[in-house]
Amino acid sequence: MITLQGVSKSYSGETSAVEAVSMHIREGSIHGIIGPSGAGKSTLLRIMNVLERPDRGSVLVDGQDLMQMTEADLRSLRRQMGMVFQQFHLLHNRTVSGNVAIPLEMAREPKKSRAERVQECLRFVGLEDKAKEYPASLSGGQKQRVAIARALAPRPRVLLCDEPTSSLDPGTTMEVLNVLRHANESLGVTIVIVTHEMEVIRAICNEVTVMDRGRIVDSFPLEQARAQGSGIVLSYREQLLGKAVMPGD
Ligand SMILES: Nc1ncnc2c1ncn2[C@@H]1O[C@H](COP(=O)(O)OP(=O)(O)O)[C@@H](O)[C@H]1O
Ligand SMILES: [Mg+2]
């Protein structure tokens, strides 16, 4: 559904944050992008909905070239591409339902259907009973579930998630990952998830792209993921597939 062709982006002009990246996000997949800090993962994710304009290359969504679109068309396309961030980005002076309502207000949805949709989304993430609370009274995992409910409110076809569990402890990480999986399985939402945590990939991804220094260094499906190995000498592929890669593989 999302195709990047030869995409490059540099901020300073010397080293590229993203260099000649081509990849495809399959509709209905949960696609992990993993790599060390500074690899270019966040930049690549922002390129997918052209929040960041690449210097070169093209970004296609269902075959449509985003680089050729007007700002108005881009804005409406971005509504089909929800975003979830590490730091949640909730508004602290608004209640939980007030936060989930934001994208619906921006889309000028009528008040009644807006309220129904907010309730539906909070039910989906298991936080219906928190509707009237303020973000400050929630745990990190609950805040992230509110952010996911907000991202799902305009019925996006894809969620772009940047380190969605990196501020959370292992228990709440699973609670958030389960909600993302649920969105994928029951709503058919395609999920792209940027992370530096192997556990996140193991838990929910069925496709993996490995990035390092702006480039894709590996990519593979993860249907039979078997967790093995712990040493840093193993590649991401070896750790995730649980086998050594033989020369010629
Ligand atoms: N807005 C920016 N301005 C200047 N340099 C940036 C900006 N965003 C990212 N970079 C640089 O681009 C490179 C890739 O960053 P980033 O995409 O954030 O990587 P990752 O998410 O994998 O940690 C890093 O060297 C980073 O310092
Ligand atoms: Mg990042």
Which atom of ligand 1 lies closest to the CA of 35?
22
Q: Name the residue with higher pLDDT: 106 or 232.
A: 106
The CA 195 to ligand 2 mean position distance, Å, reads 8
Nearest protein CA to atom 7 of ligand 1, as residue: 11
Predicted confidence (pLDDT) at residue 233 exceeds the cutoff of 90: no
Write down the architecture of domain 1-72+158-168+189-249 according to CATH: 3-Layer(aba) Sandwich (3.40)
Determine the pLDDT at residue 171. 83
78-102 tens-digit pLDDT:
989 999 999 999 999 999 999 999 9
Domain boundaries, the chain: 1-72+158-168+189-249, 81-155
Q: What is the pLDDT of residues 194-224, one digit of tens each?
A: 999 999 999 999 999 999 999 999 999 987 4
21 lines ligand 1 (CB under 6 A): no
Does 9 contact ligand 1 (Cβ within 6 A)?
A: no
CB atoms within 10 A of CB 171: 9
**For residue 17, how far is its CA from the centre of ligand 1 (angstroms)?**
6
pLDDT above 80: residue 169: yes
Task: Identify the band that residue 234 occupies on the pLDDT scale cut at 50, 70 and 90.
Answer: low
Task: Please give the pLDDT value at position 226.
Answer: 40
Average the pLDDT over each of 62-66, 140-144, 150-154 and give the range with the smallest value: 62-66
| Mean local confidence (pLDDT), 169-174 | 89
Which is more confident, 30 or 244? Answer: 30
Q: Ligand 1 pocket, 37 CB below 6 A? A: yes
